[in-house]
A and B are shown apart, each in its own frame.
Chain A
Amino acid sequence: MSPYISPLFSITMIMSVMLISSSGHWVFMWLGLELGTLAFIPILVWWHSSLEVEATVKYFIVQAMAAAVFFLGGMVSLSGDFMGGVNQLMGNIGDMMIMLAVVTKLGLAPFHYWVVDVVQGLNYIPGAVLLTWQKVPGLAVLTQLATCNNSSMLLLFGMVSALVGGLGGLGQTQMRKLLAFSSISHLGWLVVGCVAGSLLGLSYFTLYVVLSIPLFSILHMLNGGHLNQLRTGLMFNPLMSVLLGVGFLSLGGLPPFFGFFGKWLLLTHFVGQLLLGVSVVLITGTLISLFYYLRVSYLCIVVLGPQQIMSGLNWRKMQLSGLMSGLLVLNMLGLFLVGGASCLPK
């Protein structure tokens, strides 16, 4: 595919989000979601490998089905306007269908099965876009829906998602699957944050992007899929390897690092709104997921691999851009920067 075409797709993806967030009617939201999906699909098959094509087809089927349910839900809700007595009921059913469709599109917990398989088939960069930017259209719809009376259902999905993200990643040895489960777990926090207040969800989402993009791009440059391949890093490129390991711990939300800041922020609001049970479940999910983050960082920070090994990772050739290393340093020192900023005179 000609590289000159790619701006068309990426701009369309951005425009779709703007369309959704600036519209108050479900038809335009549906339109935005469909546009975003369609513009993303050519990017998914950029390298034309058979795995990618398979993943793309899976992605397309799920998204198209969810969009159909979305449209149906909109029609049901619309039909409620023309019937006298059952208006409220039909409206509720319609809202519920729309919500379930959006949740499927996002890959929240009971509907998360496609995420792992699709991400496993993709390259890291399209995978990163899928797990970060492609959440934005769905979340923009959810924040508008969460004000309705179905927010308790969203809370439930969020909790299940945090737990599933933690439990699912425990046995994984594939980097991409691990990152997918990590993303599911974070999505749980994110959705509960969106219910508690849309700005909270936005802050947490920004934090997740800042934390995960450097990890995705390092893994892309390393071009390795299996967890065991990481253990050569400490010998070939110790600094980068340590930064990668610490970045994973930060993504897991271990306190001295930046990732803890998002959890702290959200927890403060959850406890303030008396969502105690929800916070306990979310924290439990995070704790479980910390087990696999810790395993990755063992490989990056602690384990010394054998001297002669054909790992196939390009640790030595790796160059970091200033932006990426800045983000990684932010991961390590972020909480102290926040503390330092709070020391400044107001």
Chain B
Amino acid sequence: MNHLVLGYVGLVIGVIVTKKSMVWRVGQVGSVLLMLPATVLVNMNMTISNVSYMMTSDFVSLGLTVLSIWLLPLMLLASQQHMVSESLIYQRVFVGCQVFLTGALVLAFMASDLLLFYIAFESTLLPTLMLITRWGAQKERYQAGTYFMFFTLVGSLPLLICLIGQYQMVGSLALDLSYEGVFQLSYLVNFWWVGCILAFLVKLPLYGVHLWLPKAHVEAPIAGSMVLAGVLLKLGGYGMMRVSLMWGATAMLSSEVFLALALWGIVVMGGICLRQTDLKSLIAYSSVGHMALVVGGVLTGVAWGYNGAMVLMIAHGLVSSCLFCLANLWYERSSTRNLSGSRGLIMIFPLISSGWFLMSLMNMALPPAINLFGELVAMVALYNWSPYSIVYMSLGAVLTAAYSLYLFGMSQWGNTMKNYKNLYTITSREYLLTTLHLVPAIYLIFYLGLMF
């Protein structure tokens, strides 16, 4: 699948050199055209397919690759409005950054060698950092960018040492081999395992190392928020699946600490979300809660856990990205994200309110949304691991429903504030944006087989 990555490289160059009026069109049309080679991905093999030099795709990487390819044109659509006032060179760099980021993500998801995965994983840092710190709104964005960089780097340097060590001992870092037998003798295996998954736990993020995420989300422009919630967090889940598939059940003993933190995180994040006053911050904390269930699903190490986590990641990628879009749509008109300042939106924008409605319901995992399916399957796996975990999970589910309702009710119902003067209508671009999030989220309900 090298041609897909080369396509993104070409698109970066195209965006940089094209003439003034064509920057956004080239970016959007090009990124839509690049979905064509990606359709090759959707062939329903459970095994490895599309093998090329250093790259391959299989059932773990397939869904997430398609998700990141799908989200690129949506990111470009979403950020077109607030970029028109910037100078031309910055617009080029902005679009180029996003295309480069998506190319790196595709490379990360399709790398067949763990070190290539590591390099692509780290390559996503700089464009994201630029999105946050160059195009963010407040001056706290520098702090947010530094948090983002250093949480990820501190987590991922043990990963580098562990990978190199594994290469020295085993002689290969190919993804599709199982190394279970090689490490069984060594007591070091637990340290090795923790070193390997630490980077991914920070990236997901696990409760306890999640502090960078709300900061980054609140400061980032809409494209940064979308790609963070939509795909970048999923890099962590993907990496954990990869590493734990390779290592088998040998190393699972030491993961109980992380499972406990994840379960606790579900509950705590639900509580924190109920007390948020900022739209973006609420959605960001809800991502942490959802991702905790992904950690739980993967670390149980059973097939149901993996499947549930995968479905949950794709569902969350679409839903949280759309929620950020909706929040930003209001933010661009009113310049506020404060919940107490944004009430009664259903009176102002009735049609887009249906988008809020559907996405809030999906976020709280109402049937028949795919979120429900993913959560149920992951919960079954966790219940199988320990029956007591049902206490945390059910409490978490209740709190999730509560804060989703709180989000929807606070923003849509009630009296409209009188002091907004220039609320221009929702453009067709923004309807398209919302629809393109909704369509796959609804379509996947009928075709769950696409994800596992």
Contact = CB atoms under 8 A, between A and B. Distances in A.
Contacts of A264: 160, 164
Interface string A139-159: 000000000000000000000
Interface residues of A, number: 25
Nearest to B136: A302
B146 A279 contact: no
A140 B281 CA distance: 56
A271 B164 contact: yes
Interface string B121-139: 0110110001001100000
Contact of B167 (A268, A279, A287): A268
B161 A283 contact: yes
A268 B149 contact: no
Contact of B133 (A283, A291, A302): A302
Given A287-B153, A294-B149, A302-B134, A267 B119 contact: no
Contacts of B154: 287
Contact of A267 (B133, B142, B145, B160): B160
Max chain B Cβ within 10 angstroms of own Cβ: one of A254, A280, A291? A254
B126 A254 contact: yes
Contacts of B406: none
A280 B154 CA distance: 11
Max chain B Cβ within 10 angstroms of own Cβ: one of A254, A271, A284, A291? A271
A256 B107 CA distance: 12
B153 A276 contact: no
Contacts of B160: 264, 267, 283
Contact of B130 (A238, A254, A290, A301): A301
Contacts of A272: 164, 168
A271 B168 contact: yes
B96 to A, nearest CB: 11
Contact of B122 (A254, A271, A298, A301): A254
Contacts of B130: 301-302
A256 B123 contact: yes
Interface in A262-288: 264, 267-268, 271-272, 276, 279-280, 283-284, 287
B122 A267 contact: no
Interface in B152-174: 153-154, 157, 160-161, 164-165, 167-168
Contact of B161 (A256, A271, A287, A302): A271
Contacts of A255: 118-119, 122-123, 125
A323 interface: no
Contacts of A267: 160-161, 164
A8 interface: no
Interface in B51-82: 53
A207 interface: no
Contacts of A298: 133, 142, 145
B413 interface: no
A255 B125 CA distance: 9
Contacts of B157: 283-284, 287
B439 interface: no
A268 B164 CA distance: 6
A264 B118 CA distance: 12
A200 interface: no
Interface string A117-147: 0000000000000000000000000000000
Contacts of B149: 290, 294
Max chain B Cβ within 10 angstroms of own Cβ: one of A256, A279, A284, A343? A256
Interface string A247-258: 001000011100
B185 interface: no
A36 B3 CA distance: 53
8 contacts: A255-B125, A260-B122, A264-B164, A267-B164, A276-B165, A283-B160, A284-B157, A302-B145
Interface of B: 53, 89, 104, 118-119, 122-123, 125-126, 130, 133-134, 142, 145-146, 149-150, 153-154, 157, 160-161, 164-165, 167-168
Shortest Cβ-Cβ A-B pairs, 5 listed: A255-B122, A256-B123, A302-B133, A271-B164, A272-B168
Interface of A: 238, 249, 254-256, 260, 264, 267-268, 271-272, 276, 279-280, 283-284, 287, 290-291, 294, 298, 301-302, 335, 343
